[in-house]
Copies of this chain bind each other. A is one copy, B any other.
Amino acid sequence: MLESDEGDNDGTVERALELAESGKTAEAAELLDELGPNDRAWLFAHMDAETRSSLVGALPARVAAEFVHGLGEEQAAGVIEDLEPEEAARIVLELESAERADLLAMLDTDDTERILTFLQPDQASETRTLLAYPADTAGGLMVTEVLRFQSGVTVRDVLDDLREGADTYGDYNVQYAYVVDADGALLGVLRQRDLLFAQPAQQVTDVMIPGPAFVRVDATLSSMHEFFDEHGFVGAPVLDADDRLVGVVRRFAVEEAMRRQMNRLYQRLSGIIGGDELRSMPLRERAVRRLSWLSTNIVLNILAASIIAAHQDTLQAAIVLAVFLPMISDMSGCSGNQAVAVSLRELTLGVVRPREIGRVIVKELSVGIVNGMVLGTLLGVAAGLWKSNPWLGIVVGGALAVNTVIAVAIGGAIPLILRRFRLDPALASGPLLTTVTDMCGFMLVLTLASSVIERL
């Protein structure tokens, strides 16, 4: 039943790819059912846009929606983008409200509008409402498929409705039902277990838990994570500013969003900006996105190199130093990046606050002094022995030791400073850090060297 990690199986996915590419769309579509999500992702990544569109077009809307649901968000958006708007509308309609809005939010506004024209007016306006909420807020993560009952009804009414609507309500939406007043304001929550043990004639208001915990429609991701951490619930009602029940945000939607956020963090730290890059995307888009990051970096690198340029005389007198400059740049960058990682993690966990810069620097200084002494001694001894010149060892070892201390102090502080100024610590920490540590490192080596230049 379960796929292996690699998705390598009996060759079904390769067969499906062959069939689809040779135009046998119907036969390929039949094989899709046997594939797990990993194989589906692989298959869709290995087809050209045209084959993909005709394959998706050959599926019943509900099945196509299931496939789209199983793909990563970038890939799902790519599939929808390639379809005719009417076809795309047919499929997104089968998705849950929150997922539909997320997917449409990734398309160009024009594409989204074209697709929305093929939805019923009420569906289109509901989707537009969801699209208007910022991503990763309660409004952006909630589903609008909510079981809501007026305060006047009885347990029997609710059970009858649940029974009749069993198909529509699906599996997980019926964990909780909500009781609202005539204005739509939330009064209480009904758990299935409460309904189980109640008399059918009882008023729902007698059975419900009144005044339940809720989140506001503009609640941030981290506050929702705290909410679910504190409460054991699988879902939370979402209220607008007028206390009206507008949707339900589910625990797993919050978990997924946290995971997406952490992935984006890592992608940005590696210089992949603007969401996941997949190698099936157009070359132009991939190159431009990567270059936007690299071109900033080259400017910062030129800035750092200017320090070396200003000390060419020293280098000319002791050319051996040129061997050590890239090493000191790289090692200080590594040490600093460790400190950045710890600060980012501590900020996420809440164990440090953005204004505790002093505390972080003190803690980093102690590690930096220990590590700087170890690394400086290692490099210093190696350099001194290599050229049988203790002064060379002292210069490069000393520079590495001091620069390690500087690098960890700066690396630990940068994420806190960026967070205080409400900038993205993941995006800017790395380049800022390496530029500063490079400049300090080059300066240290070359000024230390010039002070003992006749001995090198």
Chain A residues near B (Cβ < 8 Å): 1-8, 36-39, 41-42, 44-45, 70, 72, 75, 159, 162-163, 166, 170-172, 174-175, 192-193, 195-197, 213-216, 219-220, 222-224, 226-227, 229-230, 232-234, 251-252, 255-256, 258-259, 262-263, 265-267, 269-272, 276-280, 283, 286-287, 290-291, 293-295, 297-298, 301-302, 304-305, 308-309, 312, 315-316, 319-320, 322-327, 329-331, 333-335, 337-338, 340-342, 345-346, 349-354, 359-360, 363-364, 366-367, 370-371, 374-375, 378-379, 382, 434, 438, 442
Contact A293 B219 (CB under 8 A): no
- CB-CB under 8 A for A298 and B232, given A38-B350, A226-B36, A374-B291: no
Q: How far is the CA of A375 from the CA of B312 in the complex (A)?
A: 24
Q: What are 27 A-B contacts with C-beta separation under 8 Å?
A: A2-B216, A2-B223, A2-B226, A5-B220, A6-B353, A38-B226, A38-B350, A42-B352, A163-B197, A166-B193, A175-B175, A252-B252, A252-B255, A255-B256, A262-B262, A271-B334, A272-B342, A272-B345, A279-B346, A280-B351, A286-B367, A294-B334, A298-B375, A304-B326, A319-B322, A325-B326, A329-B329
Q: Which 7 A-B pairs have the closest CB atoms?
A: A38-B350, A270-B341, A255-B255, A45-B351, A322-B322, A2-B223, A279-B363
With A and B bound together, what is the CA distance between A334 and B267 in angstroms? 12
| C-alpha spacing A277/B411, complex, angstroms | 15
> Knowing that A195-B196, A302-B327 are A-B contacts, what are 14 other residue pairs whose CB atoms are under 8 Å apart, sorted by A's residue number?
A1-B227, A7-B350, A37-B229, A45-B351, A172-B233, A172-B234, A175-B175, A192-B193, A252-B252, A265-B266, A270-B340, A277-B342, A278-B345, A287-B367
A37 touches B230 (CB 8 A): yes
* Structural contact, A291 and B371, CB atoms closer than 8 A: yes
Chain B, Cβ-Cβ closest to A359: B279
Residue from A213, A323, A363, A434 with most neighbouring chain B CB atoms (10 Å): A323
With A234-B172, A265-B266, A338-B271 known as contacts, the answer to whether A278 contacts B312 (CB < 8 A) is: no
Q: CA A267 – CA B343 in complex, angstroms?
A: 11
Identical copies of this chain, number? 2
Contacts of A323 in B (CB 8 A): 305, 308-309, 312
Min CB distance, A7 to chain B, in Å? 5
Within the complex, which residue of B196, B333, B378 is in contact with A159, where a contact is CB–CB below 8 Å?
Answer: B196
Chain B residues near A223 (CB-CB < 8 A): 2-5
A330-B329, A363-B279, A366-B283 are known contacts. Are A226 and B302 too (CB-CB below 8 A)? no
**One of B293, B297, B345, B351 near A267 (C-beta < 8 A):** B345
B residues within 8 A CB of A193?
162, 166, 174, 192
Chain B residues, Cβ within 8 Å of A36: 226, 230
Residues of chain B within 8 A (CB-CB) of A305 are: 323-324, 326-327
A119 vs chain B, min Cβ distance (A): 24
CA distance A294 to B370 in the complex (A): 12
